Copies of this chain bind each other. A is one copy, B any other.
Amino acid sequence: MKTRESDYHHGDLRQALLQAARQTLEQNGPSSLSLRELARRVGVSHAAPYRHFTSREELLIALATDGFDELTSRLRAAEKATGTLQGMGQAYVGFAVENPSLYKLMFSPELDRRRPELLAEAAAAAFGLLREQTTADDGERSGTLAAWALVHGLSQLLIDRLLSEELLAADRLPALVTAVLGHLRVEPPGNP
């Protein structure tokens, strides 16, 4: 690997900032996530981030978008591996529990207004997968909606620690998700 003589130019500041942001996000929560702090952490001046993000909000949006992409790929993998709604639900909740602050950020009210297309698309991709898995043949979509709401709500409850703490253990999650999803009546997308 080549070491650069002068480090005036960082090399890949954008990625370094995102990475540092993700780290401090999960460690200290979203309140302390300031551009200046990130710049300090990466060893760069306080205005440097503005060469890569036009505002703090855009940095957050980039974080959230990456999050949705990651969630999508994990859902896709679970779909390939198990092909069941339970499997995808476990993947969904697993992601949320492993990245609680990021998951919260993805649905943060600070990103509500002007939610840009990138974010919307990434989110739609993730949820579209769930939709395929649950669309019934009665033309109704409420089954999809119910499943979606269920995993989303369960994730939030777990993250917010409104359930008993033990349920957060990774080896307990699959059973929990299966049990909760078991209360759902949806026709599988099979033959009519």
A residues bordering B, Cβ < 8 Å? 29-31, 100-101, 104-105, 107, 109-110, 112-113, 115, 123, 127, 140, 142-143, 145-146, 148-154, 156-157, 160-163, 176, 179-180, 182-186
Contacts and interface: CB of A to CB of B under 8 A. Distances in A.
Q: Which secondary structure dominates chain A's binding surface?
A: helix
Given A148-B157, A152-B157, A142 B107 contact: no
Contacts of A107: 156, 160
19 contacts: A29-B113, A31-B110, A104-B109, A107-B160, A112-B161, A140-B179, A142-B179, A142-B180, A145-B157, A145-B163, A149-B149, A149-B150, A149-B151, A149-B154, A149-B157, A153-B156, A183-B185, A183-B186, A185-B185
Contacts of A162: 123, 127
Contacts of A142: 176, 179-180, 182-183
Contacts of A113: 29
A152 B149 CA distance: 8
